[in-house]
Structure 1
Amino acid sequence: MEWDKLWTLNKKIIDPVCPRHTAVIEERRLLLTLTNGPDKPFVRIIPRHKKYDGAGEKATTYTKRIWLEYADAECISVDEEVTLMDWGNAIVKEIIKDQDGNITQLVGVLHLEGSVKTTKLKLTWLAETNELVNLSLVEFDYLITKKKLEEGEDFLDALNPCTKKEIAAIGDSNMHNLKQGEILQLERKGYYRCDVPFTRPSKPVVLFAIPDGRQQSVMK
């Protein structure tokens, strides 16, 4: 049996029960300012898994300024309505760029009466707070670059030059409480196992990626 089939079976076991969390890639992350957003941050308690009560609850903070990933910002057009997951819709009114054409900031308005069924983009986001958790997302790749070696072929010729990738990210404040070995899903990124839990702000929480048999790497 190929590895992908085993990973697919594994996904069927963990997906119905593992809690959901949110992370934003650190590199080039930028702020979306919601001009009609809450003047004072507020917190809602929501399920860690919408279909499995056993996963418990988490606290989600809502603010006027929220972090988005640069890759998501590149997909947004002026006056486009997008869905902010676990919040509602917003309309992006302004996309600010520097002299080199790089996006530096977004400005928009909440449109919570909008329908999530009509939006093309469903975005993960994090409130701009001091409670976010530093993360190191680690992904392991195969030792060789081919599924099958030909007869007589030297495996040294097929060695993968990069079998481990790490990327810095920030995660929601609830990830302070992750335990070593706990399995979770990062929304729109995939499944992970907590290898090193939170100890202090300067040391990131280390999450090992769990393949699901089909998912594209967040590192690429």
Structure 2
Amino acid sequence: MESGPSPSDHAHPVGRGPKVRAAVLAATLAELTGGGYAALTVDNVAHRAGVHKTTVYRRWKDRESLVVDALSEHMAADIPVPDTRAVETDLRELARSLVRTMTGATGQAVVATMLSDAVRVPEIAELRRRLFDDRLQRARPVIARAVERGELPAGTDPDELLKTLAAPIYFRLLITAEPVDETTADDAARVALAAALAGALSRPREAP
């Protein structure tokens, strides 16, 4: 009696280079969303992506590195950096896009990954730091432009302002499990802007 087909038997060519990478990362997100981190395997990712397992291992050493890349790229693409030429609307758009992302199916998988046993894996613990660092780096120009336009005090610390913006959203999502929506986002943006305008988020001046 013949054995059933293995996942790799169903793999179909998806191209080379960027196409393969995109297919594998999309499959990783789909596996995370469908079954969570604990159930994710390289075999299943390869099967879903339509590639052979060896193709995946040539690019990623293990499932942790797969998850790191998939979530990093998803967050970068799903939370665009606005440029409305006004800091108030820029901050509001940043907060709203964060809410939309984190309350969607993939965003919920991100939250579950961060709070599951996966955080005990060094690579996944590092993922949290990388994700936040990446978001800060991408959004810093929003604050820099606002300072240049004179909408924010000189010396405003971009990272502190962005953390103040995101903090109430993440607090509701991760700590109190309260619902978040556009009102939550708008309130977070308003509070962060008020704190910045009051000078509470400015870098301390260096002593002469």
Above 0.5 in TM-score?
no
The structure with higher relative contact order (CA 8 Å, sep 6+) is: 1
TM-score (norm 1): 0.24
Q: Which has the higher Rg, Structure 1 or Structure 2?
A: 2
Q: Which structure carries more helix by proportion?
A: 2
TM-score (norm 2): 0.25
Q: Which structure carries more strand by proportion?
A: 1
